[in-house]
Amino acid sequence: MAELLAVEGVTAGYGDGVVLEDVSLSLEEGDSLALLGRNGMGKTTLLVTLMGLTRLRGGLLRWRGRDLAALPTHRRSQAGLGWVPQERFMFPSLTVEEHLTAVARPGRWTVKKVYEIFPRLEERRGNYGNQLSGGEQQMLAIARALMVNPSLLLLDEPMEGLAPIIVQELMNVIRELVADGGMAVIVVEQHAKLALALTRQAVVLERGRVVHRSASEQLLADPETLHRLVSVS
């Protein structure tokens, strides 16, 4: 498959602070990646760097062979990056359906299609963002990102703080998205085993540097290494 994203020797951070140092990874069209590491190791910073929200101090970001760093954030979304931030960013003045239609771009993902994978959102289509439960807000955040019709979906801690039944429901949806192959997916997740079960390859960050790369299946089958890298019991 063709290369979709290339991160080459990227050093980035916030203001004068450096969080990522010499980070390199790549992703092909339709591929999937678990981005793992302990808290504060740079996982979220890498996602927001892809979206253009940090200070890029060095290295290259290539999107389908072109310079991604030259694009402002809104153009990156238009180019095909869909971002589901950890904070979700629901708008209290917009209904569920307005959240979806406000960002919609032409493509296979339509309001009807996201309602098919998230029927609960269709039931809540007239509710405002602040009237939803945490699980429903996370569903809406993912659905909203899909409405951009991305080639790469960035998921930042999609399971955080959710009830087990909602976690299972979201895992099933993400698994379907990955298996479909219609877009690439990067999953940042503290629950490393969940992320590895959903993805094809894995990268582990420690203090802003890549310290491990492997197939997700290989890392999942090696509990000693997994525990050493991300403190998974």
Give 233's pLDDT tier (boundaries 50, 70, 90).
very low
Distance CA 233, CA 223 (A): 8
Q: What is the pLDDT of residues 49-108, one digit of tens each?
A: 999 999 999 999 999 999 999 999 989 999 999 999 988 889 999 999 999 999 999 999
The residue type found at 24 is S
Q: What is the pLDDT of residues 14-58, one digit of tens each?
A: 999 999 999 999 999 999 999 999 999 999 999 999 999 999 999
Q: What is the CATH number of domain 1-80+151-159+170-233?
A: 3.40.50.300
Q: What distance lies between CA 37 and its chain's CA centroid?
A: 15
- The secondary structure of 189-230 as a DSSP string is -SSHHHHHHH-SEEEEEETTEEEEEEEHHHHHT-HHHHHHHH
Domain-wise residue ranges, the chain: 1-80+151-159+170-233, 86-149
At residue 75, what are phi and psi to the nearest 5 degrees? -75, -30
Q: Is the predicted pLDDT of residue 167 greater than 80, yes or no?
A: yes
Distance CA 233, CA 226 (A): 9
Distance CA 49, CA 18 (A): 12
The pLDDT, as a whole number, for residue 180 is 85
